[in-house]
Structure 1
Amino acid sequence: MNSHPPVSQSGKLPLGMLGLLLLSLLSCENPKVMLSLRNGNAKQADYELHCDVFDVAPAQNISVTWYRNNKTFKSFMDLIEEPQKKSYILGVNISREEKFAEFRCEVQLKLEELKPQHPVISTTHQLSARYAPELRTNFSKIITVAMGGNATLLCDVEGNPPPVYQWTIDEQPMLETTNRLDITQVNSSSNYRCTATNILGNTTMNIFVDMEENYTTEPPAMPTPEAPENCGLTVMPSEVYVKYGDSASINCRTTSKDAALMDWEHAVGETYGTPPSVTWKIEKLEDFTVEPFCFVTLDTDEQCKVKPNITLYKLPDTVAISAVGNGPMKEGEEHQLQCHIYSVAPAKKLLVKWYKDDETVLNDDLKSSDVTPLPECLNDSTVRLCNVSSIYTFTVKKSDNGSLFRCKAEFQFGPAGPLVPPSMASEPYTTVVHYKPTIKNCPSYAGVENSFRLNDLPCETDGNPRPGIEWSYNGTLIDSSKLLTRAESGIYKATAHNSMGQVNTDVNITVEYAPRLSCQMMYEVEVKNTPKLLCNAEGLPHPDITWFKNGKEHFPQHWEKHESGNYSVKASNKHGTAEHAFYLDILYPPEFTESDTTTKVVVGGNVSLVWEADGNPKPEIHCNDSLAENVRASTVGRQKIITITGATSTNAGRYICVATNKVGEVTRATTLVLKDKSTDLSQHWWVFLLVLLVFAILVVVFILKGRRKHGQYDFPLQTRLTVENGTM
């Protein structure tokens, strides 16, 4: 369990401990980080990445972060308790669909509350998917070759890690270890089998070579040893190629009938057999100077001898590639790789073949090699173990990064040599090329306010060393982990940089946000106006606006006088909604309830002139009323009243009133006409009543007189009673 420095109850480091940490920070440097690659366990992981951390002082907290394709893959904290190398291992798998992925590790010191150090970034490794070898063509091949002809057989197999190839001819193992097999001077039909193997599995391909005999051509004559014809000596085989440490056997035969003695002269090995056939044999040939010969002594004491041609060859102990120079490979510069071949003989029979991703890029016969001075073993006639090397010079390209280079030392013994030239290849050398950064997939982008950072952009950078990326706005560096707000939309510049250079690209960033309404509690609009948004609505994308009156959607073509009331608006976009309620007051200009009129009044009479107007806001009515003493003006509600008492000629005339509010004004006139009393019957009503009364009395009298003429009399009751009683 990791131990940590004690903290106070407040959660802060004690001053003493803080001082120690500060002293530690000032006295230590950032650690060194190296990322290395190893093959993983085939059952658990394709690869093992080892992130080795060096030069970390004890009692340091470090943060270790793994990145896969430039995204955080795994992160954790660790406490370095001892000043030693720490190794952090990550097992990873790459699927066939993914093809490849890039990995790196970053290490950063964490000293409690002190500001963390800049992270130390490892080199980036690009790993490809691993899979067992498989045939590119799902069938075996038959190749027809003329007798004595040559052919190249290709083991058409792919796999990762690159497979190791093993060839057999008619079930007998061969020395070739590449996917190409060159055969020369074919003299029989044979079945060749190529087995490709890596740690994940193997597959086999069969190629049948069918020799087509040429009956019109005589077979080549076999060389005969220089010997007296009368001895009849022959050795079989006459030319022998023996791998260092292998056994060898040569038979010697004579056709002479006069052989008195027959044997082998040899420094190593042994002989057996009796004339006319004796055999020289050695179980383990390791002497490059061995020159046994077979002799026969005839009865005539004449002696003949024959010596076979023996070539002892030794494959290298090791074939390895290294880079020439200490600096990294840089795009566009010339670079050299050196193939080291250790303990080989005979060196002057070697051809060094260079391959880049299984494609031949150079054949070096060593005698014209760039290596100077040339080893003596390439010039002298003595065969001995020798160390030689070959140099491949090329101009580095970006595409060379991650390429696999191999060199192969191959003996060139000619037509009489082994059917498959003996060879040994190096392990693949993975080139790491430093090249300038590039940026792609970094388009214009829209993010949401307070939840979007520049780090969230899908920008992809490429370069080696792995480029860092910086963002700037209007020439000022920006913290790419900071959440952006609506005020920070604009053109940002992304700069990817490494030790090889830098590249820039502009990115248009749009920060979107939910709607927001800035509204008042009441608004005034004029009648007949076209409705428009009264509130200040913000939002990106621009919000859609919906009007409501008393909870129901309402948006008229024009405002009408009766539409004052409680309203609300709702602003909506894909990020949210905002609502606000307010009172809407419909304003309209004043209107008088009556049109212009004429009013009459008699001299000395009383009259009231009334003007009434409607409007919103409530209009004010102003009249050009007289200043005479008998005139009084008053306002009651929406009415303006001018009262004239005891009208005189000075009161007659045109009275004009103007109703005004902030929307408009309207004018109405009333004409006052003054009449004389003699012409105004309404002023002598009592005269009419008197005349009417007189007329009524005359009518009654007339009726009474008419009755008397006809003997009809009506007497009062009292009069009648007196007559009846005899009184008058």
Structure 2
Amino acid sequence: MGWEASEGVVPVTKDQNLITWRVSELTEWDIKPVCYINLIHSAQCKVDLPVTVYKTPDSVFISTVNHRGPMMERQRYQLQCDVHNVAPVKYLTVKWYKGQTLLNQTTFNDTIETPENETVTLLIRPDRADDGAQYWCEAELDLGAEGPQLHPTNSSKPLSIAVYYKPKINETKLPSVVRVLRGYPEVLVCEAEGNPKPTISWSVSSNDNKNSETLTITESTPENVSCTARNTVGSTTRHVKVSIQGAQSECPLQLDPQRVVVRYGGSVAVNCYTSVLHKGMGWEASEGAVPMTRNQNLITWRVSELTEWDIKPVCYINPNDRGQCIVHLPVTVYKTPDSVFISTVNHRGPMMEGQQYELQCDVHNVAPVQYLTVKWYKGQTLLHQTTFTDNIKTPENKTVTLLIRPDRADDEAEYWCEAELDLGAEGPQPHPTISAKPLNVEVYYKPKHSNSTETIIQDDKDMLDCTVKVNPAPTYTWDHLKEKISSSVLKSSELSPGRYTCTATNTLGRDSKVFIVKSTGGF
């Protein structure tokens, strides 16, 4: 018996039952040692020794592709991870992280045994919450149960990103209506978050702008003021109505309800009433105006089919003891989408495991968009949601996208998107929602057995089962048999004791499983 190998060969020996193949410094990448024996009463037989020679990467480096400097919110960017001089690549997994959160991972089906360089990319669409986030990638070699534990890993130096985003005014600190008691000034504070840091300006009248975060409101301040936060990305404006309170200035009108939400083409009715003597009261509106009347203390603004998107009704009164005063009625006219549709971008057919794809959700003819939320689901799991800051009142079409990188567990998964209108407490409950028809994805992935080796005792287990779940369906081949057999299952009772290797192969790759068949008396 002896060992044949390109390194560490052991010449044939007749006087031993145990011989050792030994190499002190193995430098052959694709070495294939064979132990052989020349039996006295039969021909020579041999056993191949599977050897995996590995090398951890020289370096792992992360970078941005064709971009430098800050990123803009909601724009798409590509990160690149370069893994240098690693082998064998088929056992390599490259993982992407944001902070401590695993974002994605990529495996390889290369069969080359010698060191290679590998480059993988990740598409990101950062938002304001990602400003200052650290992205990094990690190369991991999973060499199986016989390999080192823990798995060898090499990580890149983290990449910190800066995200530029337009200002967002803190609405909880700046109410939409400010009531000021006559003779007691009120200081308004306009705070905004943005990157770069926004500048703040107040517009008190058409010819008056004040660059400051604060504004002092007095009885002489106009009824409408606004705060604008602006940076290089964009601007946001918050409108504030000033209501001067006091015995001589408070308007003696009450609205019921004080705000209305109505579907486009729907009916609406709001009461305006007073408890004081007056010379006349009425409603001004582009639809449903009520002429001034002197003999009533309650008048109703009513429209049977409201078709004005930006209607601004005003109830007014001319009290006996002062001049005219008015009260505005906030009206939100909404329309649910005509349709919500999900699709893949620039792709048809099955998706490949580990590759990145873009899904698109189209929401048609919805208003107002500022109350719209588009939600993404996989099955019943919420993946992501998008809101909008548009202040346009009329219907718009909106398109949002989602980047996915499916794995084998996602085969036959259902992705879908949903458009929801949250119109506040005065709006319909529950919130109107329209969902897209689910998109079923098919994922192609290479074979992978749960166990690489299984020992079979013929009397204990009758079957050698090499079946593996995979897409597309694999073909099966067995070695060490006189005839090639395409079945994934063999009967152990019909086989001689020995080593049998089954290989499952599809268009994406292959994976083998070894069965050691032993008789009841041993092997």
TM-score, length of structure 2 as denominator length = 0.44
TM-score, length of structure 1 as denominator length = 0.32
Structure index of larger Rg? 1
Work out which structure has the larger RCO, using CA pairs closer than 8 Å and 6 or more positions apart in sequence. 2
Q: Which has the higher helix share?
A: 1
